[in-house]
Amino acid sequence: MNGIRRILARFPLHLAVIVICLIWLTPTVGLLVSSFRHKDAVFATGWWTVFRIPMDFAQFRLDNYIQVLTAQGMGRAFLNSLTIAIPSTIIPITIAAFAGYAFAWMEFPGRQVLFVIVVGLLVVPLQMTLIPLLRLYNRVGLAGTFLGIWLAHTGYGLPFAVYLLRNFFGGLPKDLFEAAYLDGASPLTAFTRLALPLSVPSLASLGIFQFLWVWNDLLVALIYLGGTEKVAPLTLKLSAMVQSLGQDWHLLTAAAFVSMAVPMLVFFTLQRYFVRGILAGSVKG
């Protein structure tokens, strides 16, 4: 009886959560359905009409995806986005892991001052660095290259990454590292054998943040890559398609879902680490 009362008491909350989820999912479902529909069907009826009984499966085709990935060049842009996003996620996380551990557990002159400077960089607007950095890139030949965009995303992502990982490493038990040092472990051994295995949730949550930011970035790619077709990511290609496909907007649904597929896969794969890692790195200081 008490169990039934608890279920009834929570029913309004559960109903509200379900309604909110449906509202959030509706645009994505509509985008997915439209991306598989034939051009004539898209222009003739709304996407919700496909759920009428009996369903007309003849209107569902892969033509939109085939045209987007071949004729529209989204396939190359997809590979370019992967080429940009993967190193731009791995490089800053790797550097931030070493820096976060050093700030948390190693004694060296100016440690606190350097950490305050790193944290202070969080409030510097990204837009202030675009023109000076682009001028430097033009001088050294990094504009329009993958290396240049990797370095840019690394620099922009490092302050938050160092702050998060420093707080996480600082929250680990001190006795654990003292015991390792007594057993003859070096700082590098303690870092690789103790700190890194214990920081998987924080590294995974940071990886989600950095990957999604880089994958969905348009401004940084537009400035440092300059719209070059050879290295243009999905965001630049999709932006160009929005301007050029005025009458063929049904192709944009397939293109948009191609750009959404990888972030959704990454998030749902690593979501169990997401909340745990963020909380662990945000309440310790």
Q: Which CATH number belongs to the domain containing residue 163 in this structure?
A: 1.10.3720.10
Q: Please indicate, yes or no, whether residues 144 and 54 belong to a single structural domain of this protein.
A: no
Diameter over CA atoms, the chain: 76
Residues with Cβ within 8 Å of 198's Cβ and at least 6 positions away in sequence, in order, are: 172
**What whole-number percentage of the chain has pLDDT above 90?**
18
Domain check: are 36 and 128 in the same one? no
Last residue of one domain, picked from the residues 61, 79, 99: 61
Indicate if 145 and 272 belong to the same structural domain. Answer: yes
Give CA–CA dist 84/222, Å, rounded: 13
Q: What is the mean pLDDT of residues 53-63?
A: 74
Burial class (CB in 10 A: 0-12, 13-18, 19+), 152: buried
Residues 91 and 124 in one domain: yes
Check whether residue 124 and residue 225 sit in a common domain.
yes
Instruction: Give residue 147's pLDDT.
Output: 93
Q: What is the mean pLDDT of the chain?
A: 82
Distances 19 to 22, 46, 118, 228, 252 between C-alpha atoms, Å: 5, 22, 42, 43, 28
Bigger pLDDT: 198 or 59? Answer: 198
pLDDT, tens digit (0-9, with 9 covering 90-100), for 179-208: 888 888 888 888 888 888 888 888 888 888
Which pLDDT tens digit goes with each residue over 258-267? Answer: 888 888 888 7
Q: Considering 25, 44, 61, which residue would you say is the last residue of a domain? A: 61
Last residue in a domain, options 61, 76, 91: 61
> Which residues are bridge partners to 60 per DSSP?
37
Report pLDDT for 126. Answer: 87
pLDDT tens track for 7-43: 767 778 888 888 998 898 888 888 888 888 877 777 7
108 & 197 share domain: yes
Are 52 and 184 in the same domain?
A: no
Same domain, 8 and 122: no
**How high is the pLDDT of residue 109?**
87
pLDDT over 50 (residue 95): yes
Torsion of CA 197, 198, 204, 209, to 10 degrees: -130
Q: Cβ contacts of residue 17 below 8 Å, gap of 6+?
A: none
Say if residue 197 is preceded by a cis peptide, omega within 30 of 0. no
Q: Kindly give the interhelix angle for 146-170 and 111-120, rounded to the nearest 10 degrees.
A: 120
Give the chain's end-to-end CA distance (angstroms, integer): 46
pLDDT at 202: 83
Distances in Å between the Cα of 231 and the Cα atoms of 35, 74, 79, 252 are 25, 12, 9, 20
Q: What is the CA radius of gyration of the chain?
A: 24
Provide the residue range defining the domain that includes 36.
Answer: 2-61
Whether this model's pTM surpasses 0.75: yes
In the prediction, which pLDDT does 193 show?
Answer: 85
117 and 168 in a single domain? The answer is yes
Give the length of the chain. Answer: 285
Quote the tokens at residue 136.
């430097």
CB 92 within 8 A of CB 173: no
- Give the pLDDT confidence score for residue 93 in this predicted structure: 93
Whole-number Cα distances in Å, 153 to 159, 201, 225: 11, 22, 12
Higher pLDDT: 92 or 251? It is: 92
Predicted pLDDT of residue 282: 46
Q: Are residues 111 and 28 in the same domain?
A: no
Measured from the Cβ of residue 268, the count of other Cβ atoms closer than 10 Å reads 9
- Exposed/middle/buried for residue 73 (C-beta within 10 Å: 0-12, 13-18, 19+): middle
Percent pLDDT > 70 in the chain is 88
pLDDT at 69 over 70: yes
109 & 171 share domain: yes
Confidence of residue 83 (pLDDT cuts 50, 70, 90): very high
Instruction: For residues 47 and 84, state if they share a domain.
Output: no
Please determine, for residue 281, whether its predicted confidence score (pLDDT) is greater than 50. Answer: no
pLDDT tens-digit series, residues 96-134 = 999 999 998 888 888 889 988 988 888 888 888 998 999
Domains of the chain: total: 2
- Considering only 91-105, 120-134, 224-238, 241-255, which range has the smallest mean pLDDT? 241-255
The residues facing 37 across adjacent strands are: 60
